[in-house]
Structure 1
Amino acid sequence: MLHIGCHLSFAKGFVHMGREALKINADTFQFFTRNPRGGGVRKMDVADVTALRELLAQHGFAKIVAHAPYTLNNCAAKPEIRAFARQAMADDLARLEYLPGNYYNFHPGSHVGQGIDEGIRLIADALNAVLTPEQQTTVLLETMAGKGSEVGSRFEELRAILDRVALREKMGVCLDVCHVNDAGYDIAGNLEGVLREFDRIIGLDQLRAIHLNDSKNPPGSHKDRHATIGNGTIGLEATKAIIMHPLLHRLPFVLETPNDLDGYAAEIHLLREIDAQMEKEEEA
């Protein structure tokens, strides 16, 4: 069964997101833990999060993904920016213990001229400062497009971060399809080759979730401009291959396409139809 969902607004609370997901036939979803362009966070409502836990269990949801705000930069040059990132991550992880066993995804950061090696060191240092042996949340490094001084556009960079994290068992990777394409990996034309490369460098056992999207740009553009499914340079046939790949099909797929809720519903319907049709063909 395909586990598919989208990014939902946290504005009306936890259980509202779960209900919205059910309305569009999703069985996973992603949400920002706090203001994505700032850092403000709403007060924790324990009854609300408990209601979401019950709804997720009742309806057999796959793991859901909490997304850190874009303002986090664990390898910034300014110490006060790094300090904010650590404080926000630590607070997010403490809150996510009310939703145990799920994922916390973040953009590794931008080294802003300090160099990739220093960026990797600072990101790993931040993770070593906030991860705890008791936590039940798995933290995901997201693959990046490589715009500006972003760290994480090459699989080797993510591996280098992971190698420096003491509590490695608390870590994983989220593969963003548009980002990987824009970083220069030919995921549309050579999916098997990209997965072999990922497995060789990081290990497919570390891949925990996928951001599913198309791209407005060709491979290697380093632009990070998402497109709706089938309406970009990756295309619908490549998307079919991604969602049905035996090494990926078990993972939660989160749509990160430029859409409203109706648009996400249409994409989920399309992808579920593809999944059902291909399963029928395999059984025939």
Structure 2
Amino acid sequence: MIFGCHLSIKDGYAGAAKKAHSMNAGAFQYFPKNPRSLSVKDFDRHDAVLCKAFCKENAILSVSHSPYPTSLTPNNKQKREQVIHSLLNDLEISEACGSIGVVVHFGKETNQLTLLESYQLIIEMLNEILSEWEGNAKILLENNPGLPGAFGTTLEELVQIRKLCNYPEKIGFCFDTCHSFSCGLWDGENMDELLEKGTELGYLDELKVVHFNNSKYDTRLGRDRHAPIFGPGYIKETQFDQLVQTPHFANIPFILETPKEEMPHEKEIQLLQKKWGDHF
């Protein structure tokens, strides 16, 4: 199994890669720029090249995560243009660092649009961005948290959006365990059903990364509060065991986004590797 965590780029992209290596992690996630801004970053290309080379030499996988304000359902023209330019910048940085792609939240239903119009806007945004993108880094759509049936919480939505885009080959998926638990997509007891649906829809074929998080709240409450894998979270170790033991996930990086003030990521990765590291 491949375990890693989200890391800061305060020491550069190569610095984050070296930090992952020092933690004995097989992967890491990073914000390509200021996580609270959509400003386009004139990044250090030499640093990115060093990151890519270091990861290749040490068999480390990396993935970036788009800044918090990124939305595939922007509520005005100005925000739309900002998101498009920002995501193209994120893709360029991810490509330079040798990353799998950039994780992007599915989008949100807005009061200004009908449900159908919201889906159509996501497709328009993806088409506009990807029509200008020729690299190997993908946009990785992440499933939303929320109450059962909330916008962006089903595999069907994710797969259909990808299928209806003009560039499906440039889109993959990111599966967040806490998000899926919050809405009951995966409630800890329905792994067989989830895998059957994921296989039937082709979702698992395009799954590139897992956000590996426990939940501070019980399933189907719509609450997105991450907890350490080992501890008082509502997802049991035996339920995580079913997920980790699934062959579909053998070569996919499991990235911790757990609260490191509750358990340092170095320690959590050690525990993960001790329990599941040699499974495959």
Contact 1:124 1:165 (8 Å CA) reproduced: yes
State the TM-score, normalized to the length of structure 2: 0.91
Superposition pairs of residues 267-278 of structure 1, within 5 angstroms: 267-276=268-277, 278=279
Does structure 1 residue 251 correspond to structure 2 residue 249? no
Closer, same or farther: CA 59–221 of 1 in aligned 2, 3 Å = same
What is the CA distance between 1:278 and its match in structure 2? 4.7
What is the CA distance between 1:276 and its match in structure 2? 4.6
Q: 1:253 corresponds to which letter in structure 2?
A: F
Contact 2:153 2:185 (8 Å CA) reproduced: no
What is the CA distance between 1:40 and its match in structure 2? 4.0
Does structure 1 residue 188 correspond to structure 2 residue 193? no
Q: 1:48 corresponds to which letter in structure 2?
A: D
2:95 counterpart residue number: 97
Which moved further from structure 2: 143-152 or 210-219? 143-152
1:20 counterpart residue number: 19
Distance 1:42 1:134 in 2: 19
Distance 2:264 2:101 in 1: 25
2:42 counterpart residue number: 43
Does structure 1 residue 10 correspond to structure 2 residue 25? no
SS of residue paired to 2:247: coil
Distance 1:139 1:88 in 2: 13
Distance 2:63 2:57 in 1: 18
Closer, same or farther: CA 69–151 of 1 in aligned 2, 3 Å = farther
1:68 aligned to which of 47, 66, 69: 66
Q: Deviations over 1:249-280 (max 9, x none)?
A: 2211101101159711111111111125656x
Superposition pairs of residues 91-240 of structure 1, within 5 angstroms: 91-100=89-98, 102-113=100-111, 114-132=113-131, 134-146=134-146, 151-231=151-231, 232-240=233-241
Q: 1:47 corresponds to which letter in structure 2?
A: H
SS of residue paired to 2:188: coil
Distance 1:115 1:234 in 2: 34
What is the CA distance between 1:9 and its match in structure 2? 0.7
SS of residue paired to 1:14: helix
Which moved further from structure 2: 26-35 or 234-243? 234-243
Closer, same or farther: CA 277–83 of 1 in aligned 2, 3 Å = closer
What is the CA distance between 1:81 and its match in structure 2? 1.6
What is the CA distance between 1:147 and its match in structure 2? 6.3
- Structure 1: which 4+ aligned runs deviate by more than 6 Å? 147-150
What is the CA distance between 1:187 and its match in structure 2? 3.9
Q: Percent of counterpart pairs with the same letter? A: 29
1:55 counterpart residue number: 54
Distance 1:141 1:217 in 2: 24
Contact 2:104 2:142 (8 Å CA) reproduced: yes
Closer, same or farther: CA 88–58 of 1 in aligned 2, 3 Å = same
What is the CA distance between 1:202 and its match in structure 2? 4.2
What is the CA distance between 1:143 and its match in structure 2? 0.8
2:243 counterpart residue number: 242
Distance 1:178 1:46 in 2: 34
What is the CA distance between 1:26 and its match in structure 2? 0.5
Contact 2:101 2:138 (8 Å CA) reproduced: yes
Which moved further from structure 2: 170-179 or 140-149? 140-149
State the TM-score, normalized to the length of structure 1: 0.90
Which moved further from structure 2: 258-267 or 159-168? 258-267
Q: 1:78 corresponds to which letter in structure 2?
A: N
Q: 1:88 corresponds to which letter in structure 2?
A: S
Distance 1:83 1:151 in 2: 23
Which blocks of at least 5 consecutive residues in structure 1 are unaligned?
Answer: 280-284
2:86 aligned to which of 62, 78, 88: 88
Contact 1:111 1:149 (8 Å CA) reproduced: no
Superposition CA RMSD, Å: 2.2
Q: 1:51 corresponds to which letter in structure 2?
A: L
